[in-house]
């Protein structure tokens, strides 16, 4: 079976396993999602949700971030890690939103990438959830699972994104990314993938090799 066919089969199996997918970050508007996604770098969604519960009560608009006292903002996001950079980026991002976008989160990849602290992963999260523009979101789970499944040989997230875009129908890009994250948490963990109970096994490069090496039958 060629790689494109395997990718489509994996897409179908994961769709059956995780029919309802969503971002596990808590948010109520585009600005909150933009902020939460930036804070999630090198952190966990659980930790970010704890922090944003208070943060979003205090900072409600882009102007609130733009006018924030940097030292205070650093303390407010401290427990998500890399707080110097995250606070600096949030403040600069707030300034750009106020000055160039009337305080609103823009809806194109080009505009989002011009915001401080926003890379393709964050931009694709926002575009997918808020503007319904499909995009492949490559976080650590998605990158790891894509390599295990034999859908890419690349480590660089941008290269992984390009490979998955070539293999999958555009309408499924965002949901497939979320499903990889769900599957990574539920069955295909970094340390101990449960190939023996995994329905994606017939189409997964690692699962196939694992089966022929160990002789397990799912
Ligand atoms: S077969 Fe194994 S490596 Fe492949 S997705 Fe399933 S658990 Fe992960």
CATH fold for domain 3-21+137-211? Endonuclease Iii, domain 2 (1.10.1670)
> pLDDT tens, 156-185?
999 999 999 999 999 999 999 999 999 999
* Tokens of residue 45, six digits: 């969604």
Q: What are phi and psi of 53, to 5 degrees?
A: -55, -45
Q: Is 118 left (phi over 0), alpha (psi -120 to 50) or beta?
A: beta
> pLDDT tens, 48-91?
999 999 999 999 999 999 999 999 999 999 999 999 999 999 99
Tell the burial category of 145 from Cβ atoms under 10 Å away from its Cβ (0-12, 13-18, 19+): buried
Which residue's entry shows tokens 């600005």?
31
Show me where the domains of the chain are located: 3-21+137-211, 30-130
60 is catalytic: no
The CATH architecture assigned to 30-130 reads Orthogonal Bundle (1.10)
d(CA 62, CA 30): 11
d(CA 213, ligand 1 centre) in Å: 14
200 lines ligand 1 (CB under 6 A): yes
d(CA 142, ligand 1 centre) in Å: 13
10 lines ligand 1 (CB under 6 A): no
207 lines ligand 1 (CB under 6 A): yes
> pLDDT tens, 41-59?
999 999 999 999 999 999 9
What sign does the dihedral 152-33-184-169 (CA atoms) show?
negative
2 is catalytic: no
SS3 198: coil
């Amino acid at each position: 079976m060629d790689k494109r066919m395997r990718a489509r089969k994996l897409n179908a199996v994961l769709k059956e396993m995780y029919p309802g997918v969503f971002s596990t970050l808590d948010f109520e508007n585009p600005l909150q999602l933009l902020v939460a996604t930036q804070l999630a770098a090198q952190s966990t969604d659980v930790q970010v949700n704890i922090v944003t519960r208070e943060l979003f009560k205090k900072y409600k608009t882009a102007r609130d971030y733009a006018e924030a006292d940097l030292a205070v903002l650093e303390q407010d996001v401290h427990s998500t890690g890399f707080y110097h950079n995250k606070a600096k980026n949030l403040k600069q991002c707030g300034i750009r939103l106020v000055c160039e976008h009337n305080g609103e989160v823009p809806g194109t990849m080009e505009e989002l990438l011009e915001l401080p602290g926003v890379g393709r992963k964050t931009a694709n999260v926002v575009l997918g959830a808020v503007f319904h523009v499909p995009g492949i979101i490559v976080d650590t789970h998605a990158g790891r699972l894509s390599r295990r499944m034999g859908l890419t040989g690349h480590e660089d997230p941008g290269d992984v994104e390009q490979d998955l875009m070539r293999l999958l129908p555009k309408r499924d890009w965002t949901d497939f990314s979320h499903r990889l994250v769900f599957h990574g948490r539920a069955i295909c963990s970094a340390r101990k993938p449960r190939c023996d109970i995994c329905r994606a096994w017939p189409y997964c490069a690692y699962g196939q090799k694992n089966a022929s090496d160990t002789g397990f039958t799912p």
